[in-house]
Amino acid sequence: MRTVLACALWIAPALAHAAVPRDWLATTTLFGNPLHERLTLEADGDKLTGTLGDDKLEGTVKGAAIHFVAKSDDGSAAEVTATLGAGSQTMTGTWLRIEADDPKNPVKAAFTARTIPARRPGPPRRHEFAPTTFYRQFSADTKPVLTIWPGDSVHTTTVDAGGGDERGVTRVLGGNPQTGPFYVETAVPGDVLAVHLTRVRLNRDYAISDDAIVPRALGPALAVKMKDGGKTIRWRLDRERGMAVPEKPSDRLKGYSVPLKPMLGCVGVAPGFASAPPPTGDNGRYGGNMDFNEAVEGATVYLPVAQPGALLYVGDGHAVQGDGELNGNALETSMEVELSVDVIPHKRIGGPRVESATHIMALGYGGSLEDALRFAIANLAGWLEQDYKLDPSELAQVMGTAVEIKIGEVADRNAGVMAAIAKQRLAGLPRP
């Protein structure tokens, strides 16, 4: 009896430690605001190591009791004391944050965590989704319209920037109303959401624009000449010929036409902690109203995940748009869209990225074109560092000789710049 009991006492702690899962979604509720982070735990006996967000942690596990301290580079620290739930799939406890510059005033908050589900087995699924409600904010508070898994695809439609559908019926107030949000299982902060645009097609035969040029692009003399602009211009979309023409052209524009290039002005996810939900006319690190005319069929858009499930929104279809969206409106129209999603875990990116068959394209947004350029260059440099392990000298050599820069957006509050490199230029670089 003693031998059996001794063996049981000896193996019980090992079994408890082995039951601690590795990947968690941790939530700290600060003054009513949920902060979501990826938590990784590695158990070695009763010792714990891992990360909470970007911070490394050390701690202990004793039975169901978890304790660890996560330290930031600036010397601040977060102390978590929690208890594993039945089955070791949940965790509840407290979080105590001590700032390096204010150690006498720690902040205490409730802490919970749940394990991140494994990817669903079996083949991907294709979902048909007919939207009935459209949203005018990129919000984490909006209830998801559909839950999907990595590899799944969604076939759906969008309304135009003014809220009109494929029949020209106004379904919602204007301001780039969005289809979604779609909740992507396994996606947590610290991951990247890959959105593959497999079908971006026109589903009606007209578009709306105007005859103005946005103030950011106007000098004083041209601004005076354009002072009477802003009238609505309706365009006919000839899908068979692949061309757009003004429905009522002036005499000098009777021979003018432009090739169609359907695109999505908006591809975005819900922004992160303590951010007020931005309107769907805005853009930023979360993507949003990027108005980037390479978000076309066949492209992949990469977005940093900031909320559980990412919460993916799409909308603001354009039949064609010149660089920068100079009119303030492109050829605004409704769209038929099919997309598939994937999740790249444990990868952080500085902002939206787009990949085509020929280029990698990093986007930057800021209050000025100069700020947007800085963000775009930093985003591209991060891409080359992550995927090709280039050091600063190598980054400068490659980007200085191969980068392509263009203005993506000047119509909205933030300007947008694209920094791209042709894949052909990178073909000779070893890729780990």
pLDDT, tens only, 233-268: 999 999 999 999 999 999 999 999 999 999 999 999
SS3 sequence, 42-53? EEECCEEEEEEC
Of 189-198, 221-230, 381-390, 399-408, the poorest mean pLDDT is in 221-230
Confidence of residue 14 (pLDDT cuts 50, 70, 90): very low
pLDDT tens-digit profile of 346-371? 999 999 999 999 999 999 999 999 99
Could you tell me where the DSSP H helices lie in 213-252? 220-225
| pLDDT of the residue at 432 | 84
The SS3 of residue 358 is coil
pLDDT tens-digit profile of 141-178? 999 999 999 999 999 999 999 999 999 999 999 999 99
pLDDT tens-digit profile of 41-90? 999 999 999 999 999 999 999 999 999 999 999 999 999 999 999 999 99
The residues, any chain, with a CB within 8 Å of residue 253's CB and separated by 6 or more, are 246
pLDDT tens-digit profile of 212-227? 999 999 999 999 999 9
341 vs 338: CA distance, rounded Å:
10
Contact assessment for residue 355 and residue 192, using Cβ atoms and an 8 Å cutoff: no
The owner of tokens 């949940």 is 90
Taking 70 as the threshold, does the pLDDT of residue 20 lie above it?
Answer: yes
Nearest Cα neighbor of 214 from 365, 416, 418, 412 is: 412
Confidence of residue 275 (pLDDT cuts 50, 70, 90): confident
Taking 60 as the threshold, does the pLDDT of residue 416 lie above it?
Answer: yes
